[in-house]
Structures are given as C-alpha cells and as structure tokens.
Chains A and B, each alone.
Chain A
Amino acid sequence: MSGPVVEFKAATKRFGATVAVDTATLDIRSGEVLAVLGENGAGKSTLMKMLYGIHPPSEGHILIDGKPSAVQGPADAMRNGIGMVFQHFSQFPALSVRDNLLLAWPKTPFWTGRRNAGIAPALATLAELAPHIDPDVRVADLSVGEQQLVELSKVLNISARIVIFDEPTSVLTPAEAHNLHGFIRRLADDGMAVILITHKLADVTACADRIAVMRRGAIVDVSASGEKPISSIVSLMMGKEIKRTLTAPKPIKQRVEQLFLNNVCAKAPGMELRNISLRIAKGEVLGIAGVAGNGQSLLADVIAGLHPITSGDVVLEGQSIARRDVRQTLATPLGYIPEQPRENAVVEDMTLLRNLNLRALAAGSRVDDEALDLLSRFNVNPPEPGRLAGSLSGGNLQKLVSARELGTPRSGVLACYPTMGLDLAAIEMVYQELFAQAEAGAAVIWISEDLDDLMLAAHRIAILREGEVVAVKDNDGTLSRDEIGALMTGLRIDEVAA
C-alpha cells in the first residue's frame, strides 16, 4: 500500500471556547475503509468537516498527498477529489433522479434531453450501483436507502477518490444498511479511501479495515479491525470509570408499580418498536441503555405521548397517557426532559418565567410566580426571569428544562440524556433532583448513553437493541460492563470478551 492520501497533523478545531476536535493526528489510506467511531458529540463529524473544508482547522494542518491542503470549502474539496455523503442529502425531492444527478454534475451539457449522449456518464454510476432505480422517478418516491445511493452516485460522479460517509446507516433499515456495507467495501476494493463516520458497532464490524475511536474531541485509539476485542472498543468509545461522587437513590422497600408500558409497538421512518413491556415501581429509577440509534428517541417520544403507538398502552397510575392519533390533544403528566432541549423543550422567544410555566400557559390557567426560587435552585445562570430563553447557553437551557420538569413533585419522570452538555457540578445537581423525585414517590425512566452512571445509580437497567427490550437486569452490584455491552451489541458475552 502506498503512502497515506490524507494526514491530519495535530489538527484542532475550536468553536469559541469549546474545543470540538483536540490535536487530532490521523492518516487515511487509499483502498481501505477507516471507521471513525464515537458517541454523539465526540467530534467525528467536525474532524471530517475539517477535511471537507466546511470547518478549516483552527490549529495544526491537513496534508493531502503529502502537500498542505488548500481546501477552502466544499467546492474546493470536490475539485480535490473529496466527496462527502451527508446525513441530510442535498436533493430535490420533487425532481427526478436524472435531474438530481445532472444538477450536481459539473459536466452537464446544455441540452439535457434524454436523447443527448452527453448525459449518459452522469447516469452510468447509478446504473452500476443500483440498476433497479429508474432515473425518471421522483426522488421523493424513493426509499431513504435508495436516496442515499443517488447521493453516493453524485459523489462518485465528481470522480472522488476520498469518500466520507457521515452516519450513513442511521437512517437505513437493517437490510439497506447491509447493502450499503457491501457498496462501501467495493469502493475501497476499487482503490478509494473511504471514511465511515459512525456510532454503530455493526458498521465497524461489517466493513472497516481500521478503527479510529474518538471521545470528547480526541482520537483515543487507532487500531486495525479485529486487533482489539469489541468490548475494549466499547469502553474506549464510552469512556472508562470516571470517578464521580454520585449518590444513588435509596433502594425501594415495597414494590408498588406505578408506570406501565404494556406491549408498546410504534413505527417511525427507519425505526420500529416491538412489544416493549416495562413496569416501573413507585420510587424506582429504571435506566435504559443501548447503543445510540436503537430506538431510544422513538421510545421517549412514545412514552411522552408525542408519537402515536400502533398497539399496546402506556399507563401512569391507572390512566393511559399514550397517543393514538397524531391529531389528538394530549399533555403528558410526566416530568419530561427531552433530548436537544433547545429544539424540543423551550420556546426561545419567550422569557424564562414563561418557559417555566409552559404547561400552565397551554392549559390557560393562572401562572404562579415561584420562578426565582426554581432558577436559583437549579443554578440557571443568569437567574433573570425576564430574560429570553434563547439567550441562554446550552447547559443553562438544560438546567432550565430540568427546573421546569423536576421542580415540582411528579408521579412519573422521563429523562433523556438529562446531563448532556452539563459540567460536573451541574450533572450532580441534576442527578440529585432526578433521584429526589424517585425518593418522593415518582417512577423514573432514565435514558442514558453513560453506562457508568447507569450502573452507579439505576435500580434496574433495561437494554434496548433494534427497537426491542432485549433484557431487564437488576442492578444489584453483580452486573458487569461486558455483560451489558454484549446485550447492547447483540454479541454473546464470550464474543465480546474474545
């Protein structure tokens, strides 16, 4: 194999005070698939956007073919033979596949009628990749997997020799993902350098030659595929035993079941929940673990009554709280901390006070005035009730949402990654409030990516894989990371350890 086509030399990317990628050193070679593995926010996409010219490095540099990269933007990158397949395709759903391919092709002739031989090369790649796709069909009528192949054809049409895939399988069904793995392998076998940004272990085991693991902006490990056991890759990705003074909630004395999920089934594009049954007792904290993208967000939406169920029920204290119809008016009684609070949990143009009282506003009832108390109790900074929510930083926004959802007694709480984006002190405060809800009698569902935290504090841990609860384990101190890792990845425990 010849020298690397791309080398990152201590490349760093800062956004303001945050370091998204910290002194990354990595080389990319032709003819191989390099998987860049890491949890959400680990800096994988930013690393590759530095190469693609969207975010040029703040420090350090990138070499292409041994020469310093002069890539200033995506157009430059394409000229240098670098193509990127994004999670969000840049396609026109209302236009035909043919038009979409021609629009992205720099050599499209003036006459684009179908009898013009000049347009044939633009369609040839797709015909080879996916002969079953009719170029006259509108892109909107294709499945997501097919749309991705169209996007891939566009990238290959610019004669790319370095192809970057950004979370390509996150939108695909398992069968489509399997097909894509095959395509990715073929590209590498044809001599291209392929970079696969992913957080799914399945992608890595299916087609990677080398694995770079990223965590909190840094590349923590690069190894050849198969060199290290999957379990140690998982540990590298998730981070190992960080010392944290986490006070676990008290054990439950008497099980009084309060929140029920009875055979819940639901469907969303690319994800299906099948027969999920869970019973959470008064005072219990049930952790939900799983590799990201295995149905966590759909499950949260279903429990919170945002996404309709196809069958089954969610019952809190004897009352159904599930949504059956998208048009139904429904306000969840749960304390609910959703993921991405800026998009999902606040109205940015409203004041902190109004955001704290959204439920009362929606119900049309009078607004009480204990805002200051809550803001200082949850350390929302600055604690000014009249300030617009949109002006808060991400961490303070998360605290604001926690204040609203955990500030009053609840009979049930659903927390999705409640500590994401928070510093250590804030993390402890949020956990304290979350567990205090349980001790006051709430049934708590806690979805987390942090296995260590779950194992420290949850009473039981349910493991979600491909839309199913594959196991519910008592967290009695005998659980091992390997055991949970095996359940999360679907491999047997001896395979994980091997």
Chain B
Amino acid sequence: MDAELFAILAAWSVATLRSATPLIFATLGETLTQRVGVINLGIEGEMLMGACVGFAVGVATNNPWLGLMAGAFAGALLSLVYAFLVLVTHANQIGSGLAVWMIALGTTSYFGRALVGQQVTPLPNLGSDWMDDIPFLGVLFDQMTMAVPLAIAAVLFAAWWLANTRPGMQWRAVGESAVVAAENGIRPRLVRLHAIVVGGLLAGFGGAILSVDYTQTWAQEMTKGRGLIAVGLVIVARWKPILVLPICLVFGLAEVATLRVQSAGFAVSPHLLAAVPYLVVLLILIVSHIMPRRDTGMPADLKSVFA
C-alpha cells in the first residue's frame, strides 16, 4: 500500500469523526431522553445554547475545556425549562420542545452578536512527534482532539449503563410504561427529570464541541437543524445507544463527502448537495424498516405523546 492512499483514507476518517462528534453527543442525549418516554425537540435549542455559551466562555477564559463544560451546563439548564413545562405543568411535549428551541434561538442570536468573528483557543491535538511516522494513525491522531474519544466513550458508557445498572433498568421501565413503573415502586417523574437533564447536558456539550472544537467560530443559528437531525437519528438507531455511533458516522461521512465533492469543483448546486446526508439517512431508515422485524425498539410510552 502506498502512503498516499493511507493519507487520503486517514483524512476522510478524521473529517468524518470530527463532523459526527457534535451529532453523536446530541443523538445520544436524545436517545436517553426518549428511552424514558419523552420526545424533546428542544434539543436543537439546547445545542445552540451550548454552542453559544461554550464559545463565549472559551473566548473569555482562553480555556476550551472550561468552554465545553459551560456549554454542557447551559444545555442542562435549558433542559430544566423543558422539564418544568412537561413534568410540572404537563404541557404538550412537542409544543414545549419548540418553545425551548425558540427561546434559545432568540437569546443566542441576540447575545451572540458580540461573539461573531472572535477567536477561541482550540483543544490540543492528540498527535505527538513520535507518532508522525506511523502511517494512517499518525495523520488520524494529528488532526483529532479529545472530543472524538470522549464521544465514543460516552456512547459505550450509556449503552452499558442502560443495560447493567438499576437506574438504567428503571429508565427503560419508565419508557415502556410510566403507569406500570409506578405500580412497581418507581417514581416516573423523577426518572424523567434525570433523563431530560442528562439529555440537555449531552446536547449542550455537543453544541459546544461544534463551536469550540469543530468550527472554532460562532455564527447565528450555527447548529442548522443538527438537533432535529438527532431526533430523527434516534429513530434510525432504534433507540439503542450503541447504534448511535455508526448511524452518526454514516451521516458524518455523507456530510464530508458532499463537502469534498463541492470543493473538487463539481457543477452541482451546493444547496442540492447539502441535502445528500439527509437523503442517505432517509434511505437507511426506509431500508431498516422494510426489513421484517418483530419490534422497532420504540419505547411503548412514547406513543402516548401523540395521543
């Protein structure tokens, strides 16, 4: 194998991973939220808030790690608003989610104006001098930050948590039926609060990675629907945390491919090309639902959201 091919392969891999990382966090957060029977469309707003606050704190402190943590915290705080609407006032989940999204859209657009054009200190690369000589891995690590391994670890941890701990089991139970869970001595509202906040934390963190680590800029409405994509990818991943990883990577790969095709100078409208990742995911969704299966993996209590 020649080194050139390795280099191209590595470049594509790392671009895919980096593009997918914010989405992995957001999709994982939404998966966990939906596993307790709650659909949070506000995740788009939580991502945006995380991106804005994370970037602001990153710029102010010159510390990207503080920025990421502040972003996660902002996402969690906004998810509390959603939790209040849904769990305390029993407002409609869809409407509450849209409201939270609009709140975030308005506030970040207003307060974010000062951030446009600012510079943030990026996360350090994982590569080191002795690695440079290793083919493939050298390039890979040289362009990768801690965000990527963190995303993979979060997915693995969440999958293990749901399957192997008492709280994880209770989350799954509440998602199947809050009524039966209560009969079994579980407090469904508390469990849902936990899951919504964890979802907000992950979405905010994903948003902060988008602004602080991936693009290293702030732009108004910069999440561009990634939160809503996450809601869709949850269905494609059949509500299984472990499937979040491959699904998001496919989406990331499609996104990278369209960018490369665009920069290679093909005469296709960039607006049309931008639709390709969504078409790919739609295709996966259709194929995976055509294949005969007994169950979709959908938590049963989610259906009551639409009742």
CB contacts under 8 Å to A, within B290-307, are: 295, 299-300
Residue-wise, chain B 68-98 has the 8 Å CB interface mask toward A (1 for contact) of: 0000000000000000000000000000000
Check A113 against B166 for contact (C-beta < 8 Å).
no
Check A103 against B184 for contact (C-beta < 8 Å).
yes
Q: Within 8 Å of chain A (Cβ to Cβ): is B261?
A: no
Known pairs A103-B184, A103-B186; A92 contacts B166 (CB<8 A): no
Check B172 against A102 for contact (C-beta < 8 Å).
no
Segment touching A, from B22-30, B101-109, B173-181: B173-181
B166: which of A93, A95, A108 is its contact (CB, 8 Å)? A108
Known pairs A92-B177, A94-B295, A99-B172; A109 contacts B166 (CB<8 A): yes
Known pairs A92-B177, A95-B172, A95-B173; A102 contacts B185 (CB<8 A): no
Q: Within 8 Å of chain B (Cβ to Cβ): is A112?
A: yes
Q: Within 8 Å of chain A (Cβ to Cβ): is B128?
A: no
Point out the residues of chain A lying under 8 angstroms from B167, CB to CB: 110
CB distance from A354 to the nearest CB of B (A): 23
Residue of B nearest to A98 (CB): B169
Check A92 against B185 for contact (C-beta < 8 Å).
no
Check B173 against A103 for contact (C-beta < 8 Å).
yes
Point out the residues of chain B lying under 8 angstroms from A108, CB to CB: 166, 169
Check A110 against B165 for contact (C-beta < 8 Å).
yes
How distant is the Cα of A31 from the Cα of B151 in the complex, in angstroms? Answer: 58
Residue of B nearest to A86 (CB): B183
Known pairs A92-B180, A94-B295, A103-B184; A112 contacts B165 (CB<8 A): yes
Q: Within 8 Å of chain A (Cβ to Cβ): is B269?
A: no
Residue-wise, chain A 64-98 has the 8 Å CB interface mask toward B (1 for contact) of: 00000000001100000000000000111111000
Known pairs A94-B295, A94-B300, A104-B185; A99 contacts B164 (CB<8 A): no
Residue-wise, chain A 460-490 has the 8 Å CB interface mask toward B (1 for contact) of: 0000000000000000000000000000000
Tell which of A92, A108, A109, A112 has the most Cβ of chain B within 10 Å: A92
The secondary-structure label for the interface of chain B is helix
Point out the residues of chain A lying under 8 angstroms from B186, CB to CB: 103
Check B180 against A110 for contact (C-beta < 8 Å).
no
CB contacts under 8 Å to B, within A100-139, are: 102-104, 106, 108-113
Check A91 against B180 for contact (C-beta < 8 Å).
yes
Q: Within 8 Å of chain A (Cβ to Cβ): is B170?
A: yes
Check A103 against B169 for contact (C-beta < 8 Å).
yes
CB distance from B186 to the nearest CB of A (A): 7
Check A94 against B185 for contact (C-beta < 8 Å).
no
B176: which of A95, A104, A109 is its contact (CB, 8 Å)? A95
Number of interface residues of B (CB under 8 A): 20
Check B165 against A99 for contact (C-beta < 8 Å).
no
Check B165 against A102 for contact (C-beta < 8 Å).
no
Point out the residues of chain B lying under 8 angstroms from A75, CB to CB: 185
Residue of A nearest to B176 (CB): A92
Residue of B nearest to A92 (CB): B176
Check B173 against A92 for contact (C-beta < 8 Å).
yes
CB distance from A79 to the nearest CB of B (A): 11
How distant is the Cα of A95 from the Cα of B299 in the complex, in angstroms? Answer: 10
Known pairs A75-B185, A103-B186; A113 contacts B173 (CB<8 A): no
Check B183 against A90 for contact (C-beta < 8 Å).
yes
CB contacts under 8 Å to A, within B171-215, are: 172-173, 176-177, 180-181, 183-186
Point out the residues of chain A lying under 8 angstroms from B184, CB to CB: 90, 103-104
How distant is the Cα of A108 from the Cα of B164 in the complex, in angstroms? Answer: 12
How distant is the Cα of A224 from the Cα of B73 in the complex, in angstroms? Answer: 68
Point out the residues of chain B lying under 8 angstroms from A91, CB to CB: 180
Point out the residues of chain A lying under 8 angstroms from B169, CB to CB: 95, 99, 102-103, 108, 112
How distant is the Cα of A94 from the Cα of B184 in the complex, in angstroms? Answer: 15
How distant is the Cα of A113 from the Cα of B161 in the complex, in angstroms? Answer: 10
Residue of B nearest to A154 (CB): B184
How distant is the Cα of A74 from the Cα of B182 in the complex, in angstroms? Answer: 11
CB contacts under 8 Å to A, within B253-301, are: 295, 299-300
Point out the residues of chain B lying under 8 angstroms from A112, CB to CB: 164-166, 168-169
Check A94 against B176 for contact (C-beta < 8 Å).
yes
CB distance from A53 to the nearest CB of B (A): 13
Check B177 against A113 for contact (C-beta < 8 Å).
no
How distant is the Cα of A109 from the Cα of B165 in the complex, in angstroms? Answer: 8
CB distance from B235 to the nearest CB of A (A): 16
Check B164 against A113 for contact (C-beta < 8 Å).
yes
Residue of B nearest to A140 (CB): B295
Point out the residues of chain A lying under 8 angstroms from B180, CB to CB: 90-92
How distant is the Cα of A104 from the Cα of B186 in the complex, in angstroms? Answer: 9
How distant is the Cα of A93 from the Cα of B176 in the complex, in angstroms? Answer: 8
Point out the residues of chain A lying under 8 angstroms from B183, CB to CB: 74, 90
How distant is the Cα of A267 from the Cα of B172 in the complex, in angstroms? Answer: 34
A103: which of B164, B170, B295, B299 is its contact (CB, 8 Å)? B170
How distant is the Cα of A95 from the Cα of B180 in the complex, in angstroms? Answer: 12
Point out the residues of chain B lying under 8 angstroms from A93, CB to CB: 176, 300
Tell which of A75, A90, A109 has the most Cβ of chain B within 10 Å: A90
How distant is the Cα of A106 from the Cα of B180 in the complex, in angstroms? Answer: 15
B164: which of A90, A92, A95, A111 is its contact (CB, 8 Å)? A111
How distant is the Cα of A74 from the Cα of B166 in the complex, in angstroms? Answer: 22
Point out the residues of chain B lying under 8 angstroms from A90, CB to CB: 180, 183-184
Point out the residues of chain B lying under 8 angstroms from A74, CB to CB: 183
How distant is the Cα of A468 from the Cα of B186 in the complex, in angstroms? Answer: 44
Point out the residues of chain B lying under 8 angstroms from A95, CB to CB: 169, 172-173, 176
How distant is the Cα of A111 from the Cα of B168 in the complex, in angstroms? Answer: 10
How distant is the Cα of A94 from the Cα of B181 in the complex, in angstroms? Answer: 13
Residue of B nearest to A102 (CB): B169
How distant is the Cα of A106 from the Cα of B164 in the complex, in angstroms? Answer: 17
How distant is the Cα of A103 from the Cα of B166 in the complex, in angstroms? Answer: 8
Check B166 against A102 for contact (C-beta < 8 Å).
yes
Point out the residues of chain B lying under 8 angstroms from A103, CB to CB: 169-170, 173, 181, 184, 186
How distant is the Cα of A104 from the Cα of B166 in the complex, in angstroms? Answer: 11
Residue of B nearest to A106 (CB): B185
CB distance from B157 to the nearest CB of A (A): 14
Residue-wise, chain A 186-209 has the 8 Å CB interface mask toward B (1 for contact) of: 000000000000000000000000
Shortest Cβ-Cβ A-B pairs, 8 listed: A90-B183, A113-B164, A92-B176, A104-B184, A90-B180, A103-B184, A103-B173, A110-B166
Which A residues are closer than 8 A to B by beta carbons?
A: 74-75, 90-95, 99, 102-104, 106, 108-113
A sample of 18 cross-chain residue pairs with beta-carbon separation below 8 angstroms, ordered by A number, consists of: A74-B183, A75-B185, A91-B180, A92-B173, A92-B181, A99-B169, A99-B173, A102-B166, A103-B181, A103-B186, A104-B184, A104-B185, A108-B166, A109-B166, A111-B166, A112-B164, A112-B165, A112-B168
Additional 11 contacts, C-beta under 8 A, given A102-B166, A110-B165: A75-B185, A92-B172, A94-B295, A94-B300, A99-B169, A99-B173, A103-B169, A109-B166, A111-B165, A112-B166, A112-B168
